[in-house]
Amino acid sequence: MRQHISTKSFLERGGFGLLAFVALTVLAFDVLPAARLLLQALAPGGSFNPDAALSALSSRSALNAARASLETAFLSSLIALPLGGAVALALSVTDLRGRRIVSFLFVLSVMISPQVMALAFLHLAGPASPILNTLGLAPEAGSANPMLGRGGIVLVMGLHHAPLVYVVMSAGLKRIPSAVVEAACIDGAHPMRIVTDHLLPLLRPHLVGAALLAFVAGIGNFGIPALLGAPVNYLTLPVLIYRRLSSFGTGVLSDVAALGLLVAIIAIVCVAASQFLTRRGEVHLEQDVPLQPFWKLGRAGAAAEAFAGMVIAVTLILPMLSLFTAALVPSYGMPLTLSTITLDNFVEVLARQDVTVRAFLNSLLYAGGAACLLATFSIPVAYGLVRLMGPARILATALLEISYVLPGIVLAIACILLFLKPLPLVGVSLYATPWIIVFAYLARFLSVTLKPVLAGMEQIDMAQEEAAAIDGARLTQRLVDIVLPSLLPAAIAGGLMAFLLAFSELTVSALLWSAGTETIGVVLYNLEEAGLGSQASAVAIVTVTVVTLAMFTLNALGRYLPSGTLPWHCETEGALVPGHRLGRTGIQSEPTGQIEPRPVLST
Residues 403 and 289 in one domain: no
The pair phi, psi for residue 601, each rounded to 5°, is -85, 125
Write the single-letter amino acid at 495.
G
Q: Each residue of 460-493: b (16+ CB within 10 Å) or e? A: beeeebbebbeeebebeebbeebbeeebebbbbb
CA distances from 90 to 96, 188, 597 (A): 7, 21, 28
Contact 367, 503 (CB under 8 A): yes
The pair phi, psi for residue 477, each rounded to 5°, is -65, -40
Residues 312 and 444 in one domain: no
Residues 354 and 467 in one domain: yes
Q: Could you tell me whether strands 586-589 and 284-285 are parallel, antiparallel, or unpaired per DSSP bridges?
A: unpaired
Contact 323, 120 (CB under 8 A): yes
Q: What percent of the chain has pLDDT over 70?
A: 90
- pLDDT higher than threshold 60 for residue 76: yes
Contact 440, 415 (CB under 8 A): yes
Q: Worst-scoring range by mean pLDDT, 48-62, 112-126, 451-465, 559-573?
A: 559-573
Residues 321 and 355 in one domain: no
β-bridge mates for residue 295, sequence order: 94
Contact 336, 327 (CB under 8 A): no
pLDDT-derived band at 476 (thresholds 50, 70, 90) equals confident
- pLDDT higher than threshold 80 for residue 367: yes
At 449 the pLDDT is 92
Residue 294 domain boundaries? 59-340
Average pLDDT of the segment spanning 132-152: 86
Domain assignment present for residue 587? The answer is no
Q: Worst-scoring range by mean pLDDT, 1-15, 320-334, 494-508, 562-576?
A: 1-15
Contacts of 601 (CB under 8 A, 6+ apart): 177, 179, 180, 283, 285
Residues 302 and 371 in one domain: no
- pLDDT higher than threshold 60 for residue 379: yes
Q: Helix (H) and strand (E) counts for the chain?
A: 29, 4
Residue 589's H or E segment, with its range, is strand 586-589
The pair phi, psi for residue 564, each rounded to 5°, is 90, 0
**How many other C-beta atoms lie within 10 A of the C-beta of residue 247?**
8
- Helix, strand, or coil (residue 381): helix
Separation between Cα atoms, residue 224 and residue 120, nearest integer Å: 11
Residues 197 and 251 in one domain: yes
Write the single-letter amino acid at 364.
L
pLDDT-derived band at 113 (thresholds 50, 70, 90) equals very high
Average pLDDT of the segment spanning 121-135: 86
- Helix, strand, or coil (residue 461): coil
At 185 the pLDDT is 81
Contacts of 198 (CB under 8 A, 6+ apart): 180, 181, 184, 189
Residues 186 and 271 in one domain: yes
Residues 121 and 170 in one domain: yes
Domain assignment present for residue 201? The answer is yes
Separation between Cα atoms, residue 139 and residue 157, nearest integer Å: 24
Of the two residues 10 and 57, the one the predictor is more confident about is 57
Contact 271, 405 (CB under 8 A): yes
Domain assignment present for residue 590? The answer is no
Please measure the distance between the N-terminal and C-terminal CA atoms of the chain and give it in whole angstroms.
39
At 585 the pLDDT is 44
Contact 482, 465 (CB under 8 A): yes
Q: HSE on the CB side for 303, CA within 13 Å?
A: 5
**How many other C-beta atoms lie within 10 A of the C-beta of residue 545?**
10
At 358 the pLDDT is 95
Provide the sign of the torsion angle of the four alpha carbons 125, 131, 133, 138, taken in this order. Answer: negative
Domain assignment present for residue 313? The answer is yes
Residues 307 and 159 in one domain: yes
Contact 506, 525 (CB under 8 A): yes
- pLDDT higher than threshold 50 for residue 588: no
Contacts of 185 (CB under 8 A, 6+ apart): 194, 294, 585, 586, 587, 588
At 33 the pLDDT is 92
**How many other C-beta atoms lie within 10 A of the C-beta of residue 74?**
15
Write the single-letter amino acid at 422.
P
pLDDT-derived band at 423 (thresholds 50, 70, 90) equals confident
Q: What is the tens place of the pLDDT at every residue in 390-400?
A: 788 888 888 88
Residues 406 and 350 in one domain: yes
Domain assignment present for residue 595? The answer is no
Domain assignment present for residue 578? The answer is no
- pLDDT higher than threshold 50 for residue 441: yes
Domain assignment present for residue 336? The answer is yes
The pair phi, psi for residue 193, each rounded to 5°, is -70, -35
Residues 336 and 192 in one domain: yes
Chosen domain end from 292, 317, 340: 340
- pLDDT higher than threshold 80 for residue 470: no
Residue 587's H or E segment, with its range, is strand 586-589
pLDDT-derived band at 7 (thresholds 50, 70, 90) equals very low
Average pLDDT of the segment spanning 379-391: 87
Q: How many residues does the chain have?
A: 603
Chosen domain end from 308, 324, 340: 340
Separation between Cα atoms, residue 513 and residue 358, nearest integer Å: 13
- pLDDT higher than threshold 80 for residue 563: no
At 586 the pLDDT is 45
Residues 497 and 538 in one domain: yes
* Burial status of residue 516 (CB atoms within 10 A of its CB: 0-12, 13-18, 19 or more): exposed
Q: Worst-scoring range by mean pLDDT, 224-238, 470-484, 566-580?
A: 566-580
Domain assignment present for residue 586? The answer is no
Contact 402, 34 (CB under 8 A): yes
CATH code at 416? 1.10.3720.10
Give me the number of domains the chain comprises. 2
Most confident of 124-138, 165-179, 217-231, 327-341: 217-231
Average pLDDT of the segment spanning 129-146: 83
